[in-house]
Structure 1
Amino acid sequence: MAGKFITFEGTDGAGKTTILNMVLDYLKEEMGDKLVTSREPGGNPIAESIREVILDRKNVDMDKRTEALLYAAARRQNIEQTVKPAIADNKLVICDRYLDSSIAYQGGGREIGEDAINEMNQFATEGFLPDLTIYFNLPVEEGLKRIAKNRAEEEVDRLDVETIDFHNRVHAAYQRLAKANPKRIKSVDATQSIDAVYQNVLEILQPYLNEFKK
């Protein structure tokens, strides 16, 4: 049996990380050492170093294409050093964000172009895609309200403080991705309660988890 690669995606404030942590707590008991976790940008020391540069709020002069290239570089390192070896070892890899984030944030939000970002990342990923992507769908205004209410000042990064127009473009790009890739991307209504969203996510994950019980 081959391993599986599953990613979690969503706009800022959608509750993605909260639910992901709940899911991981559950999976750690269910799967033990068959579970590998990662995040983007990051996932290993080199990619984490790139993450610090990308998200540092002091880097206000970062060119948007530089930003996109840094994400792609971190992604490549994460794939080669963390994700692919784990899949080859028949493990389940759960990753907080992946290529869809770059298409939405840099392609849509930064207006570089979704096709341009996808094409650029083909070099970094060599066409490597997740088996499943869970997308947390939440209206932009609600997400920004949650950030303002729940996120400590030191947790707010360079992307969180972008304009509402930026976040609207990101959300629209995610909507297009979900519509264009219905087999891979499964949308969850993130306006529901935390418990309801959590249960929805577990239902989506279950067929993939069953593969590891055969």
Structure 2
Amino acid sequence: MFITFEGIDGSGKSTQARLLAEALRAGGFDVVLTREPGGSPGAEEIRRLVLEGDPDRWSPETEILLFTAARRDHLERTIAPALAAGRIVICDRFADSTRMYQGLSRGDLRGLVDQLHSLMIGREPDLTFLVDIDPAVGLARAKGRQGTEERFEDMGLAMQERMRAGFLALAHEFSARFRLVNGARPTEEVAAEILSLTRAALA
């Protein structure tokens, strides 16, 4: 099974992806935990290009190409081989993030994102968790990390608000695979719900 986590910056999705991987491993499942952009050596190199530096470093069109190139390498080298070996793959972000960050928030480029996805990636996750949180809370959390990968956070609250609305619309569009989870609750409570939903999907 291919499971992805989506959400705005600071939603807690990375923590939840890790907790789900740990819980499933404890239950005897063979799990690969990975992330985007990244998850393979080549994709990690591209990650540094797109997540660091000035907010205006790349045009939206260039970003779409960079993210798609990273995703293709990730798919070839990490995701597809693991799934073929019967492992569960849990990924922190996938194509839905590109549909939002490049396809929606920085211009009306969703059609271009979907075209490239169809041509070069060609698969969707089996199950996607959208960890939903208030954009102001998420941005404060994200900025509080004091890391170097803050290029998108630096685009401000208005962008995070557009992203949240876009993710909620995407969850409606792909309702068969999306599960909406309230990320404002205690971490353990969110993790328990996600594990329960995952076990139901695996049954």
Category of TM-score, reference length = shorter chain: over 0.9
Counterpart contact for 1:107–1:116, Cα < 8 Å: yes
Partner of 1:31: 28
Q: Secondary structure at the match of 1:158?
A: coil
Partner of 1:12: 9
Q: C-alpha offsets along residues 117-166 of structure 1, whole Å, 9 cap, x if unaligned?
A: 2222212212x111100110112112112224x41x22542111112222
Q: Secondary structure at the match of 2:5?
A: strand
Q: Identity rate of aligned residues, in percent?
A: 33
Q: C-alpha offsets along residues 3-50 of structure 1, whole Å, 9 cap, x if unaligned?
A: x11101111111111222222222232235x21121111111011111
Pairing 1:21–2:14 present: no
Counterpart contact for 1:17–1:96, Cα < 8 Å: yes
For 2:147 and 2:135, how far apart are their aligned partners in 1?
A: 21
Counterpart contact for 1:38–1:93, Cα < 8 Å: yes
Q: Which residue type is aligned with residue 27 of structure 2?
A: E
For 2:110 and 2:28, how far apart are their aligned partners in 1?
A: 36
For 2:65 and 2:108, how far apart are their aligned partners in 1?
A: 12
For 1:58 and 1:168, how far apart are their aligned partners in 2?
A: 21
* Larger proportion of helix: 1
For 1:59 and 1:110, how far apart are their aligned partners in 2?
A: 11
> For structure 1, which runs of at least 5 residues remain unmatched after alignment?
none
What is the aligned residue count?
A: 203
For 2:163 and 2:28, how far apart are their aligned partners in 1?
A: 34
> For structure 2, which runs of at least 5 residues remain unmatched after alignment?
none
For 1:174 and 1:65, how far apart are their aligned partners in 2?
A: 20
TM-score under structure 1 length normalisation: 0.88
1:65 to 50, 61, 65: 61
Q: Secondary structure at the match of 1:108?
A: coil
Q: Which residue type is aligned with residue 177 of structure 1?
A: L
Partner of 1:182: 175
Q: Over aligned residues, Cα RMSD in angstroms?
A: 1.6
For 2:169 and 2:109, how far apart are their aligned partners in 1?
A: 13
State the Cα distance separating 1:57 from its structure 2 match. Answer: 2.0
Q: Secondary structure at the match of 1:199?
A: helix
TM-score under structure 2 length normalisation: 0.93
Q: Which residue type is aligned with residue 157 of structure 2?
A: I
Partner of 2:150: 157
Q: Which residue type is aligned with residue 6 of structure 1?
A: I
Q: Secondary structure at the match of 1:86?
A: helix
Q: C-alpha offsets along residues 79-118 of structure 1, whole Å, 9 cap, x if unaligned?
A: 1111111111111111111010000111111123323322
Range with bigger deviation, 77-86 or 104-113: 104-113
For 1:31 and 1:160, how far apart are their aligned partners in 2?
A: 37
For 1:55 and 1:146, how far apart are their aligned partners in 2?
A: 17
